[in-house]
Structure 1
Amino acid sequence: MQQFAHLAQRMFNRPLAIHRDKAEIVISALAERLNITRMVNLDGMAIEPMAFSFDGEGYEYRDRDCGYDRAGPVAIIPVQGTLVQKLGSLRPYSGMTGYDGIRQAFLTALEDPDIEAIMLDVDSPGGEVSGCFDLVDTIYGARGKKPIHAILSDGAYSAAYAIASAADKIAVPRTGGVGSIGVICMHVDFSKALTSAGVQVTFITYGDRKADGHPEIPLSKEALARFQEDIDTMGELFVGTVARNRGMSAEKVRGTQAVTYMGEKGVAMGLADVVAAPDAAFRSLLAELA
């Protein structure tokens, strides 16, 4: 029950940049997954914060996972499943990927002298807002140091699209998709269920708005207005970030109204650069490096 409550806190009453359909699936299948508190390899061994060190003469690699796979001179970083701020794993774990793992893998690949380009292997409906745009800014700020390509194996929606948009180039397959540039927050009201069960919850607070948003009480008009203002602020941050990353006007991005676009329509909207199967997009990246 304690772990269920912990995951519920990650999904309810907080802003999410996630595709609506995926949000519904996750809500219906909550499980005890996010109780990881430190960065570990999949074998459970704790890892150090950097992939390699510089000893003054050359790079010395440590025998551990650096968070990405190598295909020739290209680092392949997975951005898959539901995205969360802190997963504590360099790799996707139980259907989730952490912004913390993506960041560490990306920065490691950026400094790896044997890596000439970085590929973001994206297949995700999005996830948490917290931590997303800081990661996006990190990737965007690294443009020009090494080629960065987002190659979608299916879809990049919401927070996942924000990450993909930071790359130099986005390739989407014919049946894949991009978009869902928006923010959603789901408030759950348990007050009637508690009353029916004979449970009365009394909040004793300091501050008139201290209990706003708690699921044990109905959401007041004042609380709804305040939360809507926060969501609007995050939504405008999302719009501005995509507009900057893709060289589009904020009006055009805002005008998508969080719609998703399949394949060619995504390219036509300016949200992707080319329609290509993942293997073809990867070969194209290798050809650019040759």
Structure 2
Amino acid sequence: MKKKIFIGLIIVIVILYIISYFTYRSSPKIAVIDIKGVISDYMSVIDNIEKAHRDKSIKAVVIAVDSPGGAVGAAQEIYSALQKLRKDKPVVVSMGNVAASGGYYISVPANVIYANPGTITGSIGVIIQHVSVSKVLDKIGIKIENIKSGKNKDILYPNNQLTPQQKQLLEETIKDVYNQFLEDIVRYRPVDINDLKQYADGRIFTGRQAKKLKLVDRLGNIQDAIKEAKKLAGLEGKTVMVIRLRKEEGLLQKMLDSKISTGELISFPRFYYLMSF
């Protein structure tokens, strides 16, 4: 008798699991993807965006941004992925504490951008660091020679002191990356590029200020962004599942992000869409 009851319970559990599985698979969903911290390792974010793109049950995506920015290449990878996603599904951004520089850049392709009134955003600009230790090495009697194929091959090496010509080369490169930032903003935001240049000098804004400048669309929190995503997907008044797509970062990546975000010396040069601390 007990064995029959046990078998019966197992059958019921299996049936309930199958029902819940197919209900989950077929139910319309809003996916939330978190982008937190310094933007450097972008592959997990791209994977989640592609997963949301492929899954037909996901009808819209909310990107929860809480980032001061990061490497230019990584930010552009995410920007491009969101461009492709929005062609097929509505994308809404919800800005948290900070969505500045690269954090703002990746928000731009969204159909609608929400920010809290006190969100820190803006910081539109590009930065690259060069640390010169040549004078210190001279004082302690250490000489390092760089055997190079061209005079600018070691332009950012710490034992190299920048010449005026090299500094000009870097400034020209930074200007090109900066112009890419501006062009990518005006592609989706209702602002003129000449007007944008007047305040795209690295300054930060509150969410409320950014709304006045048309850098964001509305003031609100993550719940407002999810509600907006339901509306854009035509799901108002319907039962919708809200799911979170995310991948936990390993300890090493968190340590690397911490070093960058606290402004410590980085051993390899990159251009950054990164808010200064």
Q: Distance in 2 between matches of 1:168 and 1:284?
A: 10
How far apart are residue 192 of structure 1 and its match?
A: 1.6
Q: Distance in 2 between matches of 1:287 and 1:239?
A: 29
| Residue number in structure 1 paired with 2:220 | 276
Q: For 2:30, which of 66, 74, 78 is the aligned residue? A: 74
> Which structure has the higher relative contact order (CA within 8 Å, separation 6+)?
2
Q: For 1:286, which of 230, 242, 245 is the aligned residue? A: 230
Asked if 1:267 corresponds to 2:211, the answer is yes
Asked if 1:192 corresponds to 2:148, the answer is no
Q: How many residues align?
A: 209
| Residue number in structure 2 paired with 1:148 | 91
Q: Distance in 2 between matches of 1:171 and 1:220?
A: 44
Q: Distance in 2 between matches of 1:176 and 1:230?
A: 30
Higher-helix-fraction structure: 2
| Residue number in structure 2 paired with 1:83 | 39
Moved more, 264-273 or 196-205: 196-205
Q: Distance in 2 between matches of 1:128 and 1:134?
A: 10
Moved more, 240-249 or 222-231: 240-249
Task: Describe how 1:1-290 pairs up with structure 2 within 5 A.
Answer: 73-84=29-40, 98-256=41-199, 257-288=201-232, 289-290=235-236
How far apart are residue 132 of structure 1 and its match?
A: 2.0
Q: Distance in 1 between matches of 2:119 and 2:67?
A: 11
Q: Distance in 1 between matches of 2:183 and 2:215?
A: 14
Question: Please, what is the CA RMSD of the aligned residues?
Answer: 2.1
- The share of aligned pairs that are identical, in percent, is 24
How far apart are residue 287 of structure 1 and its match?
A: 4.8
Contact conserved, 1:173 with 1:278, CA < 8 A, in 2?
Answer: no
Unpaired runs of 5+ in structure 1?
Answer: 1-59, 62-70, 85-97
How far apart are residue 211 of structure 1 and its match?
A: 2.2
Q: Distance in 2 between matches of 1:192 and 1:75?
A: 53
Contact conserved, 1:155 with 1:172, CA < 8 A, in 2?
Answer: no
Q: Distance in 2 between matches of 1:207 and 1:264?
A: 49
Q: Distance in 1 between matches of 2:115 and 2:133?
A: 41
Q: What TM-score, normalized to structure 1?
A: 0.67
How far apart are residue 72 of structure 1 and its match?
A: 6.8
How far apart are residue 268 of structure 1 and its match?
A: 0.5
Contact conserved, 1:154 with 1:176, CA < 8 A, in 2?
Answer: yes
How far apart are residue 154 of structure 1 and its match?
A: 1.7
Q: Encode CA deviations 1:178-221: one digit per residue, 9 max, x unaligned.
A: 21111011110011222223211122222222222211121111
SS in 2 for 1:127: strand
Contact conserved, 2:92 with 2:225, CA < 8 A, in 1?
Answer: no
SS in 2 for 1:165: coil
Contact conserved, 1:178 with 1:272, CA < 8 A, in 2?
Answer: no
| Residue number in structure 2 paired with 1:41 | none
Contact conserved, 1:174 with 1:277, CA < 8 A, in 2?
Answer: no
